[in-house]
Amino acid sequence: MGSELEFGEGHVLVEPGEPVYGLFLIRSGVVLVQTPIEEYERGPGHVVGEWEKLDGSEDVRVTAQSDLRLVAVSRSDYEAALTG
């Protein structure tokens, strides 16, 4: 389930106001998550993407702070895994 992806430092994974269609599991590297009220980093083992939008904030940006290796899981794949 999911697709392996690689991105370079500075790549924007999530843009403010833009839809996010899944989750990204960080295999290696670090991202910076920016919301209107806070900034924090996430690294290997963390999941980013749609989760950041679930808190109701549409103004979320997720940017690679280093080279990244991710597993991208679409919403439909995630839901299929939950329902078996």
Pick one of 3.40.50.720, 3.40.50.300, 2.60.120.10, 2.60.110.10 as the CATH number of 3-83: 2.60.120.10
Q: Output the six-digit token pair for 29.
A: 């590297």
Residue 10 buriedness (CB in 10 A; 0-12 / 13-18 / 19+): exposed
Angle in degrees, CA 7, 23, 31, rounded to 5: 45
With cut-offs at 50, 70 and 90, classify the pLDDT of residue 76.
confident
Cα 14 to Cα 34: distance, rounded to the nearest angstrom: 10
Q: For 28-71, what is each residue's pLDDT tens digit?
A: 999 999 988 999 999 999 998 765 555 555 688 999 999 999 99
pLDDT of residue 49: 78
Q: What residue spans define the domains of the chain?
A: 3-83
3-state percent breakdown (helix, strand, coil) of the chain, nearest 5:
15, 45, 40
Helix (H) or strand (E) holding 81: helix 75-83
